Amino acid sequence: MGKIKVGFAKVGNIGCSPLIEFLLDERAEREDIEVRVFGSGSKMDPESCVWVAEETVKYAPNLVVFTSPNASLPGPSKAREVFQKSNIPTIIVSDNPAKKATRLMEEAGLGYIIVEGDV
């Protein structure tokens, strides 16, 4: 198998957002993965979130990591729909308010990490 492609999709900002992609390759020395980051800055409206999700899917990653505060809001929810339809394994990283959507994430086959310290 060639390089594993990981797409990081970021909308809004939670505390772990600025550095999360460095967890996999902090020194950029790994040759077995390729990382791309797609983001909307602070914007979390549906149009911005869908754009980020679609661009991430176009990259055709093996894994998507989607970071968003309150992933249950309308914009992040639209992005989740894009990732679900793509059938690309996806992990949602969000904060406590996203707990309202964990059942929906599970039903959609999306993984999630709730960062409780990020309040």
Residue 72 lies in a domain: yes
Domain of 18 in residue numbering reads as 4-23+30-102
Write the pLDDT tens digit of every residue in 8-60. Answer: 999 999 988 889 999 999 888 999 999 999 999 999 999 999 999 999 999 99
Angstrom distance (rounded) from CA 31 to CA 29: 6
- Of 119 and 98, the one with more pLDDT: 98
Indicate whether 113 belongs to any domain. Answer: no
In the chain, the amino acid numbered 92 is: I
Taking only the tens place, the pLDDT of each residue in 82-94 is 999 999 999 999 9
Domain count, the chain: 1
* 118 domain-assigned: no
> Is 39 part of a structural domain of the chain?
yes
Domain CATH for 82 = 3.40.50.10830
Does residue 115 lie in a domain region?
no
In a domain, 18, yes or no: yes
Torsion angles phi and psi, residue 114, rounded to 5: -100, 120
Across the chain, mean pLDDT equals 95
Residues shown for the chain: 119
Tell me whether residue 116 is in a domain.
Answer: no
Given a cut of 70, whether residue 76 has pLDDT beyond it is: yes
Residue 112 domain flag: no
> pTM of the entire structure?
0.94
